[in-house]
Amino acid sequence: MSAPNIETIVSLSKRRGFVFPASEIYGGLGSSWDYGSLGVELANNIKNAWWRWLVHERDDIEGLDSSIIQNRLVWKYSGHETTFSDPLVDCRACKGRFRQDKLQDVKCPNEPSVCAGSGKECDLTEAREFNLMFRTTIGAVAAEDDESALAYLRPETAQGIFINFKNVLDTSRRKLPFGIAQIGKSFRNEVTPGNFIFRTREFEQMEMEYFCRPEDAPRLHQEMIDGFQEWFQSLGISGNNLKLYEQTKEELAHYAERTVDILYRYFPEREDEDKQWDELMGIANRTNFDLRTHSKKPEIDGKRINSDSTEDLSYFDEATKERFYPYVIEPAAGVNRLLLAILMDAYTEKTNDKGETRVILKLKPELAPIKVAVLPLAKNKPEIVSLAKQIKKDLQPAMRAVYDDTGGIGKLYARQDEIGTPFCITVDHESLEDNAVTVRDRDTWAQERVKVSELKEHLQKRLQK
Ligand code: GAP
């Protein structure tokens, strides 16, 4: 089972402290969200899993953390200043503003509705291009529109990688193929954000640029597509809720030769199966576009197209004595979209023997915000409380543990199940006699007695599954 719709996750997130609406006490700020104590742990665990899998476990990828605000020229030569836009239309009837290419998905925002779904005609303006980059100014400027101080918040982390290609190459002494990975915030002034954390104006990306010889690019691209599908499933996402989408020639970004998206079933409630899916990540073959465009002497028809860069970002292959611009395979995923997919896929309901329905978040232990909750059966018994607190303290260096005595044991179990904590430890009167505690499994609700002296090892073994 997985969540029946995104709304179920919105309410669980608010109720339990994963995600809150941003600026809520001032009426909110359209499609901005804050991550609460559990949300930030889950996001960190997702990012750590990605980083460990790519940067630590493979031997061919370096990490990077580049600036959000770069020289404006980065966005001139990357093409974002001229092409990173959506076609925008206004409706004269309802005053709504929409992306022309997503008209079939929108609902008219104002009543009385005259647009999609009402059967009446919309009165749309001609489309005009709207650039999605957030603008800002650098330093103390006299006027907000001072072009000489203009800068952008990055709309993708990727460009920070391309402009550092030579720095990383020179300092790491890498040879092709190798990759550079980066996790960080990106910003897009989306025309129609929405669906909770699915499309927002501020979001986090996990991107990797894998540099290779041009002839190796198609094979490495396919390996990356297969690898990411497997990785998502290793995080607990069901293969039934993932599928591939091959972008058409018309959909491809200006830099891409081939892009395959991995889609997740974010909208299982929709009758039309085709409309249940949306993009979780994109995996592109970006050719050598970026390294060429940021280089001081690209040889496009013999014409120098970049007169501002001070570097040539080509690569010299010692073995073949060739100089060329490497191709790039780019797997680009959103932290927030993956977090949403993971929450949706982990969501299950189970009925207890009293006929009550309980929510269980069957998160992979690696991703669970809390690994173990230590619960005293009698919070008015100082010896029990003190033993429970000591157990929590002893476990903490090895795993994220919490102590909780804020309710009866049934309520405490239910809360931990709902936030995905794999194990609860109950300390009771008997524990004072036999130095053992009850370990309760989140998914099966099975309980077993374990010696306190063996507890850490016991839990570590089970958490690795
Ligand atoms: N460097 C390539 C690139 O940025 P993209 O397909 O535009 O490609 C990559 O973005 C991923 O970033 C998407 O698959 C999605 O997971 C995430 N993403 C993009 N725009 C987003 C938004 N407005 N809100 C949340 N996530 C977004």
Residue 200 beta carbon below 6 angstroms from any ligand 1 atom: yes
Determine the 3-state secondary structure of 47 from DSSP.
Answer: helix
Residue 203 beta carbon below 6 angstroms from any ligand 1 atom: yes
pLDDT for the residue 145: 78
Determine the 3-state secondary structure of 172 from DSSP.
Answer: helix
pLDDT-derived band of residue 140, with 50, 70 and 90 as boundaries?
Answer: confident
pLDDT in tens, 168-182: 999 999 999 999 999
Other CB atoms within 10 Å distance of the CB of residue 67: 11
Q: Is the pLDDT of residue 119 over 70?
A: no
For residue 55, give the DSSP letter.
I
pLDDT for the residue 5: 98
Residue having the nearest C-alpha atom to atom 19 of ligand 1: 334
Q: Which of 64, 132, 187, 205 to mutate to test the pocket of ligand 1 (most atoms within 8 A of CB)?
A: 205
Average pLDDT over residues 140-164: 91
pLDDT-derived band of residue 167, with 50, 70 and 90 as boundaries?
Answer: very high
Residue 205 beta carbon below 6 angstroms from any ligand 1 atom: yes
Q: Which atom of ligand 1 is nearest to the CA of 193?
A: 23
Q: Is the pLDDT of residue 349 over 90?
A: yes
Which spans in 309-444 are helix H? 335-346, 382-395, 409-418, 429-434
pLDDT for the residue 113: 46
pLDDT-derived band of residue 440, with 50, 70 and 90 as boundaries?
Answer: very high
Residue 394 beta carbon below 6 angstroms from any ligand 1 atom: no
pLDDT for the residue 147: 85
389 sits in which H/E element: helix 382-395
> What mean pLDDT is reported for the chain?
93
Average pLDDT over residues 257-276: 97
Q: Which atom of ligand 1 is nearest to the CA of 158?
A: 1
- Span from the CA of 151 to the centroid of ligand 1 (angstroms): 21
208 sits in which H/E element: strand 202-212
Q: Is the pLDDT of residue 112 over 50?
A: no
List all residues 6 or more positions away from 116 whose beta carbon is below 8 Å from its beta carbon.
103, 104, 106, 107, 108, 122
Residue having the nearest C-alpha atom to atom 24 of ligand 1: 199
Q: Is the pLDDT of residue 128 over 90?
A: no
pLDDT in tens, 195-243: 999 999 999 999 999 999 999 999 999 999 999 999 999 999 999 999 9
Q: Which atom of ligand 1 is nearest to the CA of 205?
A: 12
Residue having the nearest C-alpha atom to atom 2 of ligand 1: 332
Residue 160 beta carbon below 6 angstroms from any ligand 1 atom: no
Q: Is the pLDDT of residue 298 over 60?
A: no
- Span from the CA of 240 to the centroid of ligand 1 (angstroms): 22
Residue 386 corresponds to which tokens in the numbers above? 């003190």
Higher pLDDT, residue 109 or 268:
268
Average pLDDT over residues 300-309: 76
